[in-house]
Homo-oligomer: A and B are copies of this chain.
Amino acid sequence: MFLKHSFQGTGINQVLKESKVPKGSFYHFFPSKEDFALAVLENQVEHIKRYGQKYLEEFNAPYLDRFTAFFENLMKPIAQSDFCVGCLVGSFGQEMAALSPPLRQATSGGFVVLKEMIRDFIEKGQAAGEIKGSLNPEVGAVYIVSAMQGSIIMAKVEKSSEPLDIFIKTSVGMLMA
Contacts and interface: CB of A to CB of B under 8 A. Distances in A.
A140 B170 CA distance: 8
A84 to B, nearest CB: 4
A8 B170 CA distance: 34
B9 A157 contact: no
A158 interface: yes
Interface residues of A, number: 45
A14 B173 CA distance: 47
A36 B159 CA distance: 23
Given A6-B95, A99-B5, A170-B139, A111 B149 contact: no
Given A140-B170, A142-B162, A146-B166, 13 more contacts: A6-B6, A6-B94, A83-B97, A85-B98, A93-B156, A94-B156, A98-B156, A139-B170, A142-B166, A143-B170, A145-B154, A146-B153, A146-B154
